Amino acid sequence: MVDSLDNNLRATSGLWLPAILWEQMREDVQARLPQEACGLIGGLRPRALQVYPAVNALHSPVRYRMEPEEQIRIFLSLEKLGWDLLAIYHSHPAGPDHPSPTDLAEAAFPESVHLIWFPHTGGWACRGFLIQDGQFTEIPIYLVENHPKNG
């Protein structure tokens, strides 16, 4: 049974992200310095349910590419759970706070939110974007109360 909250979530654009998942990403971004961190977020649109950190195969501070085997493992897990790929996250350790020209050129999964983490006032901040046809549009990220993985 779908409750009214779920109906409201589905009618609103943006990504609904539990605080615990926000914190997992922030910790991953910090731990992978000086490299760009990267990973995927799965859930039931638009509600995020799990963060899947991945190794940056390029080991670069200015580019990322997820390890292919890890990416496949994550996609298989999402398929098994019946979840959607809601978002792709990565960090820009030295900025900018929006998609770079490389991000725009290499973006895949236009229906997924691209979360970009960047340094901000001694910590980290994050913005969400849809990237389609080499252009980006910012979309809202709603931090919500934590909830069980099964929604």
Q: Is the pLDDT reported for residue 119 higher than 90?
A: yes
pLDDT above 70: percentage of residues in the chain:
89
Amino acid occupying residue 54: A
**Residue of 23, 36, 67, 70 with catalytic role:** 36
Average pLDDT over residues 85-110: 94
120 and 81 in contact (C-beta within 8 Å)? no
Q: Is the pTM of this model over 0.85?
A: yes
Q: What is the pLDDT of residues 28-71, one digit of tens each?
A: 999 999 999 999 999 999 899 999 999 999 999 999 999 999 99
Residue length, the chain?
151
Residue 2 has pLDDT above 60, yes or no: no
Q: Phi first, then psi: give them for residue 39, nearest 5 degrees.
A: 175, 180
Q: Which strand ranges, in their side-by-side order, compose the sheet holding 38-44?
A: 135-139, 123-132, 113-120, 84-91, 38-44, 47-54, 15-18, 141-144
Provide Rg for the chain, Cα atoms. 15
Based on the residue annotation, tell me whether 70 is a catalytic residue of this protein: no
Complete domains list, the chain, with CATH: 14-143 (3.40.140.10)
Distance CA 151, CA 149 (A): 5
**pLDDT at 147 (0 to 100):** 61
